Amino acid sequence: MSNIKIKTEINFQHLLSIEGMSKELITKIFDIAETFLKIGKHDVKKVPLLRGKTVCNLFFENSTRTRTTFEIAAKRLSADVLNLDISSSSQSKGESIIDTVNNLIAMSGNIFVIRHPESGMPKFIASNINKDVHIINAGDGNHSHPTQGLLDAFTIRKYKKSFNGLKIAIVGDIKHSRVARSEMHALSILGASEIRLVGPKIFMPDDVDPTKFQEFNEMKAGISDVDVIMMLRIQKERMQQEIIPSEKKYFESFGLTTELMKYAKKDAIVMHPGPINRGVEIQSQVADSSQSVILAQVTFGIAIRMAVMTMLIDKNI
């Protein structure tokens, strides 16, 4: 069963970063994802678009949402899925990551979904394999998490229809966040009117273009009159040392509360890529409120990942 009729001339081999993607390509991914969202509502959620293909999930870092939604997306496309358990793999015997990938290619792997703590590892793999396979970056260090950036922008399009005129605040530990980087690229390409970076100075990246992004070091001003609030957790695993004196103090200054929500637009949506840390960057009442679209992001992630994998494999979709 396949009622997918969207045609695209756009081809791409790997998905390593949103940087450099065209608005046309991102919009095409979104349009195809819309079709897959509809399929997600059917009793039988499967289409045969990736039948005979094998998707290999290689996660060198923990994950709940990304790994499972890639697996669900691949299964809905009728692909075979291989989740390599890195801790029990021959990586522990000194096998290089390129040798591991080449062995999985010899087992007919077609798409490799890679999460790695080292920035640039998916690109390194893509540059060092000769076969016609596809690498998808599922998060590398603090560099990039392109499918998360895409699903976040897709979520905004679902709720707000257009990026034109939108004020969006990305709040929290932006410096250590690959998600924030991918969101910033996606929202710039898609033409969001105002993109604010909100958080303490120590969480602001050094290389921000002030013509594209406005920095706020205070919550009330930062989220004042915004349409979208994208919250981030503190990325302790990517810090050399603890740079926040106490989570309680951080919450008092930068935690999103029902009280602070009064400064945003009445119909503002609250987003978070997860995992959320309740009582640290977000109050439970806000995370669970009617303005929160955090769980919708997860659902949309399946459709976005289905769209990306289909477009990588089938150049004629």
Give min distance, CB of 316 to ligand CP, in A.
Answer: 30
Q: Is the dihedral of CA 300, 144, 32, 45 positive or negative?
A: negative
- For 99, other C-beta atoms within 10 Å of its C-beta total 12
Q: How many residues does the chain have?
A: 317
Which residue from 90, 85, 76 is spatially nearest to 37, judged by alpha carbons?
76
For ligand CP, the binding residue among 274, 281, 302, 317 (CB under 6 A) is 274
Cα angle: 184, vertex 239, 71; to 5 degrees:
60
Report the SS3 class of residue 158. helix
Task: Select the residue interacting with ligand CP from 139, 146, 172, 199 (CB under 6 A).
Answer: 139
Query: Can residue 172 be called a binding residue for ligand CP (CB under 6 A)?
Result: no
Give residue 128's region: left, alpha or beta (phi > 0; psi -120 to 50): alpha
Residue 237 CB, nearest approach to ligand CP (Å): 11
**194-198, strands of its sheet edge to edge:** 213-216, 194-198, 167-171, 228-231, 269-271
Identity of the residue, 4 or 122, whose beta carbon is nearer to ligand CP in the bound complex: 122
CB of residue 47 to ligand CP, shortest distance in Å:
24
Least distance (Å) between residue 61 CB and ligand CP: 8
Provide the angle, in degrees to the nearest 10, between the axes of the packed helices 65-76 and 146-160: 80
Work out how close the CB of 300 gets to ligand CP at its nearest, in angstroms, rounded to a whole number. 12
Residue 225: CB minimum distance to ligand CP, A: 27
Tokens of 77: 């496309």
CB nearer to ligand CP: pick between 53 and 272 = 272
Secondary structure of 85-122 in HEC code, one letter for each residue: CHHHCHHHHCCCHHHHHHHHHHCCCCEEEEEECCCCHH
Binding to ligand CP (CB under 6 A) within 38-67 occurs at 63-66
Among 105, 273, 293, 313, binds ligand CP (CB under 6 A): 273
Please say which residue, 144 or 148, places its beta carbon nearer to ligand CP.
148
**Region of 124-132, 189-197, 218-226, 270-278 interacting with ligand CP (CB under 6 A):** 270-278
Q: Which of 137, 148, 155, 277 binds ligand CP (CB under 6 A)?
A: 148
Q: In the block, which residue shows the tokens 């060198």?
A: 60
The residue type at 101: V
| Contacts to ligand CP from residues 176-215, by CB under 6 A | none
Number of residues engaging ligand CP in binding (CB under 6 A): 10
Residues that bind ligand CP (CB under 6 A): 63-66, 139, 145, 148, 273-275
